[in-house]
Amino acid sequence: MKLSDKIRYLREVEGNLRGLNRAMTQQELVRAIQAEGGNKATISQSYLSQIESGARPHLTNTTRLLLAKFFKVHPGYLVDDPEGYHAELLSDLRTAEDKLDLWLVSGAERFRRDPDLGQALLALAHHQDSRRCLLLLEAVLETPSLVERLFEVLRPALAAKTSTQQPEQKKKRKAAE
């Protein structure tokens, strides 16, 4: 796992631990570090952004110690893992599940402007067996009109909202093709 993925993951965990039910934003993280550390050491939002984007692949020792103390992890955790490294004995399926969950969390971050989609991706990532959920989704999609029927029963408000948006979205997709 890359350092950037670890920082995003730690923000996600910390946000949930603090009752936000979402990842802490970079700015919230900066403020929390400042509040808990006093005026001693701090980190800027732009520095965090560079770390998470991969533009700055390594941390200074001071920053590594600051983040490790805040997130309550060992400083050695805040480095890129060697290719194929696993902290514990895991089956290939469990490793794939972890990668899938990280990918889903990353996707939720990318779609921040669509809160419904972001929440759905996070719910999937937090599920014990997200791989199985995706396989189930495939089966649902392969069954004609099942998606619409399930939406009407399970999420009537979203069903009404998306039914009015679907014709426009289909036109955009066809135009893009």
Give long-range contacts, CB 8 A cutoff, 24+ apart: 94-100: 96/131, 97/129, 97/130, 97/131, 100/125, 100/130, 100/131, 100/134
What is the pTM assigned to this prediction? 0.49
- Which pair of structure tokens corresponds to residue 159? 């069903």
The answer on pLDDT for 27 being more than 90 is yes
CA separation (Å) from 128 to 100, 102, 106, 125? 12, 13, 17, 8
Q: Which domains does the chain have, with CATH numbers?
A: 3-77 (1.10.260.40), 143-177 (no CATH)
Q: Is the pLDDT of residue 28 over 90?
A: yes
Structure confidence at residue 87 (pLDDT): 56
Q: What is the pLDDT of residues 120-134, one digit of tens each?
A: 888 888 888 888 999
Q: In which band, very low, low, confident or very high, does the pLDDT at 75 lie, cut at 50, 70 and 90?
A: confident
